[in-house]
Structure 1
Amino acid sequence: MVDIAHQAAINPASRDAATARARVPLASIDPGQWRALAQRATEPNGYYLPAWELAVSATARGRNDASALAAFGGSSARLIGLMPVISLWRALKIPLPALVSAHPYGTLCSPLIDRDAATEAAACLLQQARKAGAHALVLNDVALDGAAMNTIKQVLDCDGLKPRVLSSYIRASLDATQDGETLLRDALGTKKLKDLRRQRHRLAEHGPVAFDVARKPDEIRPALEIFLQLEASGWKGKRGTALIQHAGDATFIRRAVPALAETAQCEIVTLRAGTTPVAAGIVLRHQDRAFFFKLGIDERFAKYSPGVQLTLDLTRHLCADPAIASADSTASADHPMINPIWRGRFAIGDVLIPLRRNDPIVALIRAALATCYASRETARSVVHLIRKWRTTNPRQTAQQA
């Protein structure tokens, strides 16, 4: 096995051939079985619902053609576990035998594990990775204390193996079992809420302010186009990262959103001033959890805080829905808009999972990943310093431009 790993390390094509044997194309997974597994999953993940992930893998820029580790159990060969993956070479250009969770265009990659056969499913997924020739798994953006990760830890412990957290951060979430008004008052305080009401009254000078929720496919398609235009009109459009600016990304979202609406697993919320949309957001639903995917605003109305106003209404909307117990912001750490409003917190991280005991190849993978993560952190620090300098030196920035 070490010889195979050595060959893979020096030959990415050989590595891909070796790791492909025990993986299956995502499109080959029976969609009915996949949907049934999603309903039995120990932990919700709206980004690994079949309608979403299949659209990502088929069309999204840089995320297409993922494969899967699949676990089947019982005499009926029921699907009990699913983990979309790509090779470490494809993910990070590291020529070592490891598999990485496929990124589903949402910052959560916790695998789907059947709550009725959790230990069996997790053990089978790890075994499938071994059969694929992998010496390690890298799970990106997983809930570190979530049910899926806890089950994997238990299986690893039985094998004398320990996962290693490569990086982590704390993310905002919403406890939707609370009364919405009480939650907002406790989070923001009466003074801040009064200021936001004043802004809303000023926004209403442009027309009555209304919060709309599109759920049905015929409602959600036009609402999606409004969202896409709003997103592209703001800073994401200026950076070239808006969904509509790339053909593959636009195709993915236009395919995924209506498909999820068919099963009541997606909605688009829109805030209007009269007939003018000023903010819109995409929200996924899986089991009793909502996922706040993306937000777009009309920056001509920025002084009225349209993104915050929409989020306040979304908070009230989710708290009033008995089917929703919590919401994942899917935002970055210290997000300046969502963190003050949604005060729940949970840990998200990237985890290295060794698949063999005392394996020198795992040590190589870990060292390579450490170098990669250090480079990323340096790049992020440089970008942060540049942005800070531009903010504090606008005149010099304008002269250079």
Structure 2
Amino acid sequence: MVDTAQQGTIHRASVWHAGAAPARVPLGAVDNGQWRALAQRAIEPNGYYLPAWELAVSATARGRTNALALPALDASSTRLIGLMPVFSLWRAWKIPLPALVSAHPYGTLCSPLLDRDAPLEAAAGLLQQARETGAHALVVTDIALDGAAMASLEQVLRRNGLKPRLLNSYIRASLDATQDGETLLRDALGAKKLKELRRQRHRLEEHGPVVFEVARSTNEISPALETFLQLEASGWKGKRGTALVQHAGDAAFIRRAVPALAETAQCEIVTLRAGTTPVAAGIVLRHQDRAFFFKLGIDERFAKYSPGVQLTLDLTRHLCADPAIASADSTASADHPMINPIWRERFAIGDVLIPLRRNDPLVALIHAALAAHSTAYAAARRAVRLLRR
């Protein structure tokens, strides 16, 4: 009898040695070593599609479990050169039309992993794999519109006489970490605002020495994660019931993903303490030369000292002083009131509808259904906000 571990090995091996990749496979069936190697070669970093993160999301996170993968292999069918986690359009938004949607990895970035040594081949492979599932369109949400992955997809589409349709977009904040941290903060905030923040920090020091800590090792990061989870749940997210620790699946995902990424130096938790009291903490992912500011939690009892801003100032200095990091993605919403004044670089994020066949009337129907869904979703969010007032 073959044990469960052996069956998993055989299953994963069959994905790569059957002569061609299946059009769509369970995410857990993708060879982990191949996936990690592709992430190292990716033409565009995406910390949320690192295997340790996305596999944890797909295993337990609310509404995001059991994602499938579109894998693209090279001409020899032995090397993974492209990967995009996906759901069906029905699974994503209950729309009964033949399309696939990029699986949302909790962080707001779904740019697919494409091999920098063969980005066009990888992009073409992903689109072909999507076609072979029977899909008529591929919806890529939260993709960097001017990023290398989108540029590769557009080039392949043009070559095939196809054109992507932009569904919506927004501009979000990022950090140019190649600059001197102090100079960047002075230019971004100005002398008057920095003076006010220093005054608040001095007031915070009345509660004990203010210390900025970075947890990287697996021994350090697990207790730092618990501190973060407690802070997040203590604030407005806890009151709304959206804190990670309040849902068993989300808590299981983050407790699995963070230590796993710490083992490969791809995650750190930053904490600001006043004496022995943690007043703010944040989770930061790292992929290639880019950092991703995933989430922030604060102790709202110290709100008058701007603990989230104080932590972000120290994080900015920390990232700017790190020669391995060239930029940082805030992964924040548009017009975010805290991060936007500090991180002044901007880039465009959007949702894109990619047709998979020429002159396909179903694409217009899919587009119309997506527009109707977006309108209904926006109306529902407005209603919820009104009810909360």
**What is the TM-score with the length of structure 2 in the denominator?**
0.93
Task: Give the drift of 1:383.
Answer: 4.7
Aligned twin of 1:352: 353
> Which structure 2 residue ranges, 5 or more long, are not aligned?
1-21
Rounded Cα–Cα distance in structure 2 between residues aligned with 1:159 and 1:177:
38
Aligned twin of 1:302: 303
Rounded Cα–Cα distance in structure 1 between residues aligned with 2:61 and 2:197:
37
* 1:130 maps to 2:128: no
Task: Give the drift of 1:382.
Answer: 4.2
Rounded Cα–Cα distance in structure 2 between residues aligned with 1:381 and 1:231:
24
Rounded Cα–Cα distance in structure 2 between residues aligned with 1:385 and 1:182:
41
Rounded Cα–Cα distance in structure 2 between residues aligned with 1:386 and 1:164:
34
Task: Give the drift of 1:379.
Answer: 3.1
Task: Give the drift of 1:60.
Answer: 0.7
* Sequence identity percentage: 83
Q: Name the SS for the 1:22 alignment partner.
A: coil
Aligned twin of 2:162: 161
5 Å matches for 1:51-200? 51-75=52-76, 77-200=78-201
Rounded Cα–Cα distance in structure 2 between residues aligned with 1:339 and 1:226:
25
Task: Give the drift of 1:101.
Answer: 0.2
Rounded Cα–Cα distance in structure 2 between residues aligned with 1:214 and 1:57:
25
Rounded Cα–Cα distance in structure 2 between residues aligned with 1:113 and 1:55:
21
Rounded Cα–Cα distance in structure 2 between residues aligned with 1:22 and 1:71:
9
Supply the AA of the counterpart residue of 1:100.
V
Rounded Cα–Cα distance in structure 2 between residues aligned with 1:115 and 1:247:
37
Aligned twin of 2:13: none
Aligned twin of 2:320: 319
Task: Give the drift of 1:308.
Answer: 0.2
Supply the AA of the counterpart residue of 2:227.
I
Q: Which moved more, 1:263-272 or 1:70-79?
A: 70-79
Rounded Cα–Cα distance in structure 2 between residues aligned with 1:282 and 1:78:
32
Deviations 1:15-48 (A, max 9, x none): xxxxxx7210111111111001001001000000
Deviations 1:284-331 (A, max 9, x none): 000000000000000000000000000000000000000000000000
Aligned twin of 1:263: 264
Q: Name the SS for the 2:118 alignment partner.
A: helix
Rounded Cα–Cα distance in structure 1 between residues aligned with 2:70 and 2:211:
45
Rounded Cα–Cα distance in structure 1 between residues aligned with 2:223 and 2:335:
32
Aligned twin of 1:17: none
Task: Give the drift of 1:376.
Answer: 2.2
Task: Give the drift of 1:363.
Answer: 1.0
Task: Give the drift of 1:386.
Answer: 6.0
Aligned twin of 2:330: 329
Deviations 1:204-227 (A, max 9, x none): 000000000000000000000000
Task: Give the drift of 1:195.
Answer: 0.2
Rounded Cα–Cα distance in structure 1 between residues aligned with 2:101 and 2:58:
14
5 Å matches for 1:3-42? 22-42=23-43
Distance 1:269 1:240, change over 3 A: same
Q: Name the SS for the 2:105 alignment partner.
A: coil
Aligned twin of 1:12: none
Deviations 1:164-203 (A, max 9, x none): 1101000000000000000000000000000000000000
Supply the AA of the counterpart residue of 1:68.
A
Rounded Cα–Cα distance in structure 2 between residues aligned with 1:378 and 1:285:
36
Aligned twin of 1:233: 234
Aligned twin of 1:248: 249
Rounded Cα–Cα distance in structure 2 between residues aligned with 1:377 and 1:232:
26
Task: Give the drift of 1:380.
Answer: 3.6
Aligned twin of 2:46: 45
Rounded Cα–Cα distance in structure 2 between residues aligned with 1:360 and 1:380:
31
Rounded Cα–Cα distance in structure 2 between residues aligned with 1:384 and 1:145:
32
Distance 1:357 1:76, change over 3 A: closer
Task: Give the drift of 1:77.
Answer: 1.1
5 Å matches for 1:264-279? 264-279=265-280
Supply the AA of the counterpart residue of 1:163.
P
Aligned twin of 1:4: none
Supply the AA of the counterpart residue of 2:370.
L
Supply the AA of the counterpart residue of 2:349.
I
Rounded Cα–Cα distance in structure 1 between residues aligned with 2:386 and 2:345:
29
> Which structure 1 residue ranges, 5 or more long, are not aligned?
1-20, 391-401
Supply the AA of the counterpart residue of 1:332.
S
Q: Name the SS for the 2:117 alignment partner.
A: helix
5 Å matches for 1:198-213? 198-213=199-214
Task: Give the drift of 1:282.
Answer: 0.1
Deviations 1:25-75 (A, max 9, x none): 111111111001001001000000000000000111110000000001043
Rounded Cα–Cα distance in structure 2 between residues aligned with 1:185 and 1:97:
51
Aligned twin of 1:373: 374
Instruction: Let me know the Cα RMSD of the aligned residues.
Output: 1.0
Supply the AA of the counterpart residue of 1:143.
A
Q: Name the SS for the 1:116 alignment partner.
A: coil
Task: Give the drift of 1:268.
Answer: 0.1
Task: Give the drift of 1:385.
Answer: 5.6
Deviations 1:255-302 (A, max 9, x none): 000000000000000000000000000000000000000000000000
Q: Name the SS for the 1:115 alignment partner.
A: coil
Aligned twin of 1:363: 364
Supply the AA of the counterpart residue of 2:329.
D
Rounded Cα–Cα distance in structure 2 between residues aligned with 1:146 and 1:379:
31
